């Protein structure tokens, strides 16, 4: 941990000493010290390990000229897909399998769905059946 001193970062012990002096006061006992130490160690372990949960950036599909753009996408599990209507017409986003579906989207409105399972998800516009798209989730 000595390599961090150049950047002004104090070691865990120095942080605990500072917390003890600044917050604990002279009358706090060893129990308070142990609680503070446990919190610092737990936080350090979690930050050092990182998280196993991988959040995905949202993916946007635009609706223009009565088309989904792009019409077909492939995303990882956990991705939120957001459809935004950029068309003068009202459109829907409706899963062929009934898994998801929007109300009518007016110009500038959007709808999002988070895909939590792998699979192939075709969708269409209920108002314009010639409009099709597919979300493939790996």
Phi, psi of 82 (to 5 degrees): -120, 120
pLDDT at 70: 98
pLDDT at 6: 42
pLDDT at 104: 98
Q: Let me know how many helices (H) and strands (E) the chain has, helices first.
A: 2, 8
pLDDT at 93: 98
**Which residues, other chains included, contact 23 with Cβ-Cβ below 8 Å and sequence gap of 6+?**
36
Tokens in use for 63? 């609706």
Per-domain residue ranges of the chain: 2-49, 59-137
Class of domain 59-137: mainly beta
Tokens in use for 8? 């002004």
pLDDT at 57: 85
Q: In a structure prediction context, what are the per-residue pLDDT tens digits for the chain, which is 138 residues long?
A: 344 344 444 445 555 565 555 554 555 555 665 656 555 555 444 444 443 345 678 999 999 999 999 999 999 999 999 999 999 999 999 999 999 999 999 999 999 999 999 999 999 999 999 999 999 999
pLDDT at 87: 97
């Amino acid at each position: 941990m000595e390599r961090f001193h150049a950047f002004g970062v104090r070691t865990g012990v120095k942080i605990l000493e500072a917390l003890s002096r600044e917050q604990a006061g002279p009358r706090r006992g060893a129990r308070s010290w142990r609680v503070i130490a446990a919190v610092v160690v737990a936080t350090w372990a979690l930050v050092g390990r990182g998280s196993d949960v991988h959040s995905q950036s949202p993916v946007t599909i635009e609706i223009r000229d009565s088309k989904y753009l792009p019409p077909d996408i492939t995303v990882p599990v956990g991705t939120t897909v957001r459809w935004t209507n950029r068309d003068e017409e009202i459109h829907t986003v409706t899963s062929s399998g009934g898994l998801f579906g929007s109300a009518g989207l007016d110009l500038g409105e959007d709808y999002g769905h988070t895909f939590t399972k792998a699979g192939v998800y075709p969708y269409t516009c209920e108002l314009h059946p010639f409009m099709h798209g597919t979300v493939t989730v790996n």
